[in-house]
């Protein structure tokens, strides 16, 4: 069997990346199994260190324990992310996104590529951007281009509500900025059944949603509705 490629991994990154830490903390494994049963392909890990953002979540052991066979989508909201890349890569991360606002973002992107080469498997290098950060701040990090651009609709450092419409507009602009390299583009934050239509305006490759799935009265139905909405707008006719 040929080794998986970056392109084949990208093709699996469609639809909804489910934020697993929105599930009941005592039922993460069960929630992950149910997600797989619903047809979920991506599982999203928000990794927060209490410094870059005020919240604290979990580390690489959770990534290793959850989501076997799924695309493990790791979002590092941490100071100096380059220091943590290797641990998450070894834990099985398939996507590692770091913030343009974090110290050492360029080193972290290089570390993701180095970890991919060392482990002999594709790991997508993602670049995330907060809602108020100028898009011009991305430019120095676009050569070489990241594999994924993660556009946040919500800044976890503040209490402002998410603005999915603005994130969608920024996602469209970022897609144009990085057009020659054709990175994946995703939207993260505030994705609900009420806001998904705004996200769809950007035709994202995938969108991140947690609470709207795992805290819904009927989580499976919520997941399927969100995934179905994005499937209808998948870029380039690729099924979500």
What are the helix (H) ranges across the chain? Answer: 6-12, 28-37, 60-65, 85-90, 105-119, 164-177, 196-200, 211-214, 219-231
Q: Which residues, at least 6 apart from 179, have a Cβ–Cβ distance to it below 8 Å?
A: none
Q: Phi-psi category of 214—alpha, beta or left, where left has phi over 0 and alpha has psi -120 to 50?
A: alpha
C-alpha triplet 70, 238, 190: angle, nearest 5°? 65
The catalytic residue among 37, 46, 49, 155 is: 46
Residue 216 to residue 210: CA distance in whole angstroms: 10
DSSP 2: P
Active site residue 94: no
Which of the residues 137, 188, 205, 236 is marked catalytic? 188
Q: Is 46 a catalytic residue?
A: yes
200 burial type by CB count under 10 A (0-12 exposed, 13-18 middle, 19+ buried): middle
Residue 222, Cβ density class (10 Å: 0-12 exposed, 13-18 middle, ≥19 buried): buried
Q: CA 36, CA 69: separation in Å to the nearest integer?
A: 9
Active site residues: 46, 188
């Amino acid at each position: 069997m040929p080794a998986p490629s970056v392109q084949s991994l990208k093709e699996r990154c469609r639809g909804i990346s489910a934020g697993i830490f929105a599930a009941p903390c005592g039922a993460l494994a069960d929630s992950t199994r149910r997600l797989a049963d619903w047809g979920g392909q991506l599982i999203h890990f928000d990794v927060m260190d209490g410094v870059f953002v005020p919240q604290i979540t979990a580390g690489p052991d959770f990534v290793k324990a959850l989501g076997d066979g799924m695309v493990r989508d790791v979002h590092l909201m941490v100071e100096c992310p380059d220091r943590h890349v290797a641990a998450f890569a070894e834990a099985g991360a398939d996507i590692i996104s770091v913030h343009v606002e974090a110290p050492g973002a360029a080193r972290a992107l290089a570390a993701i590529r180095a970890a991919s080469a060392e482990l002999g498997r594709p790991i997508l290098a993602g670049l995330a951007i907060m809602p108020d950060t100028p898009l011009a701040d991305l430019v120095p990090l676009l050569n070489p281009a990241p594999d994924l651009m993660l556009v946040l609709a919500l800044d976890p450092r503040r209490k402002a509500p998410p603005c999915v419409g603005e994130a969608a507009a920024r996602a469209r602009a970022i897609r144009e900025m990085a057009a020659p390299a054709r990175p994946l583009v995703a939207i993260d934050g505030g994705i609900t059944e009420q806001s998904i239509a705004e996200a769809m305006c950007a035709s994202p490759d995938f969108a991140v949603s947690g609470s709207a799935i795992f805290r819904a009265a009927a989580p499976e139905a919520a997941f399927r509705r969100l995934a179905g909405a994005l499937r209808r707008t998948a870029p380039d006719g690729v099924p979500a």
